[in-house]
Structure 1
Amino acid sequence: MKKLLFSLIIIFLVFLGIFFYLRSRLQDDSVPLAESFSGEKVMFIFPHPDDEITSAGTLKLLDNEGIETSLITFTRGEAGSSNGMVTETDSAKRKLALGEIRFRELSAVGQLLGIDNQEILNFPDSDIKNLSPDSLKSIIRQKIARYQPSILITYDDVIGLYGHPDHRLIAQYTKEIFLAERGKSGFPVKKLYQVTLPKPMIETAMKISDSFKRNFGSGAILPTPTMAFKISKVGDFKKQAMLLHVSQRPTFNDMQPYFDKIPVWIYYRIFDKEYFAEVK
């Protein structure tokens, strides 16, 4: 009996050691945790279905607090991968089919996370760079006027998290509007936050994620986090949101390995935060 108890204690201590080592390689506990968003309205602006996964835990936490959330997604993600769900060989038909699949996936995620206002637009995926900046900024202004958010959240405008030009440009246009209009009468937005990652997580991603290795430019620097949401208590919702994006499973397996294999109560105590940088 004593030997069994001793063995269990050793196993437990080894598990704790591994747990704290992994957290130290991924998290930055010096970043302040978000204060209450009570009384605010929060709008998330992203280019693709599945981009909201970067903030899925935050979205659910805001829903739990009764905070009104809006999600504006500019494309249907028709230029992405399909995980074998689309077999059309004709390019136009393939894009149409995949766009419909990803529209349905994101709609289901919106319901799961309790998003109050969700719009999925139909701008061309991976072609934002060829569209008029003024026309896109006009759409962003329209959505702000409609939903009256006091806080905006989008990608960073330098890298777009890991190098996607659609990410960077939508973030750039959102930032330009915010900096030009904040403080003016009739403009409701008081703060703009950009999705980012702490340095330990970037260093790990560069070692294990093909997407980061391929797209994260040499010498590129993401904004330094100024706020984090602790999402461990809503980890199951983030996992379920990723599982709803069936067409994007290979991408998630690359960006968040073993999310569907490790128990939620372990995984989201290692990956227990979502990070943001305030634009000043």
Structure 2
Amino acid sequence: MKILYIFPHPDDESFGPAPAMHAQLRQGHEVHLLTLTKGEATKQRFRLGVDKAEMGEVRFREMQCVEKTLGLSSMTVLNLPDGELKRMNPIEIEKVIEEQIHRLRPDILVTYAVHGISGFHDHLVTHAVVKRVFCKLREEQGAGYPKRLALFTRMGEVVKDGKFRLEASSEEEIAFIEMCSEEDMEKFRQALDCYETYQEIIEASKVKEVTTKEVPFEIFGEDIDGRLSSISEGL
């Protein structure tokens, strides 16, 4: 199966489903990554003394390290405005995503669940736009792809520690859990290490410590009894 992960920023994949992405590659799936922005608006640019264009190139090089570390089938990084997706005409975002879908012809799309985990606006816009494109293509029926929309999420309690707030989905909403190996977890940690400019944030978030081998997903628009045994079951 061909799986396309779609996220707005560099590091969304590594703070998120990187262990599952590597597990799916091990299982023989093609795993592709589409990132909508270069993450150039990060405040880290002030610490580094660079402008947005330079910061975008720094983050792109870090993503190239992630691509190699995880062994992704492909990676495409677009140049939509970081932090400004909510100000764009959503139809324009839909167009660029649809172009990439038609180019790759993925069986499965993956993006954030409706809460975006962090609640950041770019995450919420990406969820809405990817869902809209998926529904449009499914209604057209002619292409035969994509067949499924999976939504990366968290399990458990909502985390509120002052600096970080992380949303979660209920047990009933989770339709599939990717069970990852220690090899997958090591690749996840190595992918995070690629983001040299973000190590302070990575350490503060404790993401390496709190991320578990169980990576949960919701499945949109399907009547699923129980939980799937794989992200591609039934396709």
TM-score bracket, shorter-length normalisation: 0.7 to 0.9
Offset of residue 64 of structure 1 = 1.5
Determine which of 221, 231, 236 is the counterpart of 2:180.
231
Structure 1: distance between partners of 2:199 and 2:24: 25
Query: The residue matched to 2:117 in structure 1 has which SS?
Result: helix
Q: Which residue of the partner structure matches residue 18 of structure 2?
A: 56
1:63 to partner: Cα distance: 1.7
Instruction: Tell me the alpha carbon deviations over residues 42-88 of structure 1, each in whole angstroms, 9 at most, x when there is no partner.
Output: 00000000001111111111221221111110100011132876224
- For residues 80 and 57 of structure 1, the distance between their equivalents in structure 2, rounded to whole angstroms, comes to 24
CA distance in 2, matches of 1:48, 1:226: 25
Map 1:44-193 onto structure 2 (within 5 A): 44-53=5-14, 54-82=16-44, 86-88=48-50, 94-157=51-114, 159-182=115-138, 184-193=141-150
Query: 2:46, 2:196 → 1: CA distance?
Result: 10
Gaps (5+ residues) in structure 2? 222-235
- Higher strand proportion, which one? 2
Structure with the bigger percentage of helix? 1
- 2 CA distance for matches of 1:255 and 1:58? 20
Distance apart, 1:232 and its partner CA: 3.5
Structure with bigger gyration radius: 1
CA contact 1:83–1:248 (8 Å) conserved in 2: no
SS of residue paired to 1:103:
helix
Q: Determine if the alignment matches structure 1 residue 278 to structure 2 residue 216.
A: no
Q: Aligned to 2:123, what secondary structure does the other structure show?
A: helix
C-alpha contact 2:153 2:168 (8 A) present in aligned 1: no
- Contact 2:108-2:149 within 8 A present in 1 as well: yes
> Residue 211 of structure 1 corresponds to which residue in structure 2?
164
Question: In structure 2, what is the Cα distance between the partners aligned to 1:42 and 1:127?
Answer: 27
Deviation at 1:244, TM superposition (A): 0.7
Structure 2 residue matching 1:239: 3-state secondary structure: helix
Supply the AA of the counterpart residue of 2:84: D
Please report how far the alpha carbon of residue 211 of structure 1 lies from its aligned counterpart in structure 2 after TM superposition: 2.0
Contact 1:194 1:276 in 2 (8 A): yes
Gapped regions of structure 1 (runs ≥ 5): 1-39, 89-93, 260-266
Output the CA distance in 2 between the equivalents of 1:50 and 1:86: 18
Q: TM-score, normalised by structure 2?
A: 0.85
> TM (normalized to structure 1)?
0.72
Q: Post-superposition shift, 1:276?
A: 0.9
- Percent identical across equivalent pairs? 26
Q: Deviations over 1:125-144 (max 9, x none)?
A: 00001111111101111111
Give the Cα separation in 2 of the matches to 1:140 and 1:188.
Answer: 14
Deviations 1:104-138 (A, max 9, x none): 00111011111112111111100001111111101
RMSD: 2.1
Q: 2:12 corresponds to which letter in structure 1?
A: D
The residue identity in structure 2 corresponding to 1:173 is V
**In structure 2, do the counterparts of structure 1 residues 209 and 237 end up closer, same or farther at CA, with 3 Å as the change threshold?**
farther
2: CA distance between counterparts of 1:132 and 1:84?
A: 29
